[in-house]
Amino acid sequence: MQSQQVQQILDVAGDLFFELGFWNAKVSEIAARSEISTASIYKAFESKDALFRAVLARGIEKLKILAKPPIEAGDPINQLLQASDRYHALCESALFRDLIRAPIEHNNIPLTFRRSMCRQIRSALEQLCMPPLQACAEVGLLDRQQIKEAFRLLSAYIEHQTIWYGLLVSPASKNSGAREQIADEAVRITLSAYPPGGVVASGPYGGAAQSVVATQPPPPRAPED
Whole-angstrom Cα distance, residue 104 to residue 94? 15
Whole-angstrom Cα distance, residue 37 to residue 31? 6
State residue 180's pLDDT score: 62
Average pLDDT over residues 143-158: 93
State residue 73's pLDDT score: 62
pLDDT band at 214 (very low <50, low <70, confident <90, very high): very low
Whole-angstrom Cα distance, residue 114 to residue 145? 30
Which of 152-166, 189-203, 205-219 is predicted most confidently? 152-166
State residue 217's pLDDT score: 41
State residue 179's pLDDT score: 54
Residues 117 and 36 in one domain: no
Residues 104 and 197 in one domain: yes
Q: How far is CA 210 from each of CA 104, 192, 205, rounded to the nearest angstrom?
A: 32, 8, 7
Whole-angstrom Cα distance, residue 31 to residue 43? 12
State residue 187's pLDDT score: 93
Structural domain tally of the chain? 2
Average pLDDT over residues 167-173: 51
Residues 117 and 152 in one domain: yes
Is 225 contained in some domain? no
The CATH number of residue 98's host domain is: 1.10.357
State residue 74's pLDDT score: 72
Residues 61 and 90 in one domain: yes
pLDDT tens track for 43-87? 999 999 899 999 999 999 998 898 887 666 678 999 999 999 999
The CATH number of residue 4's host domain is: 1.10.10.60
Residue among 29, 106, 99 at smallest CA distance from 57: 99
Is 158 contained in some domain? yes
Is 221 contained in some domain? no
Residue among 141, 145, 67, 142 at smallest CA distance from 99: 67
Residue among 49, 46, 15, 47 at smallest CA distance from 30: 15
pLDDT band at 215 (very low <50, low <70, confident <90, very high): very low
Domain span at residue 10 reads 1-45
Percent of the chain clearing pLDDT 70 (strictly above): 76
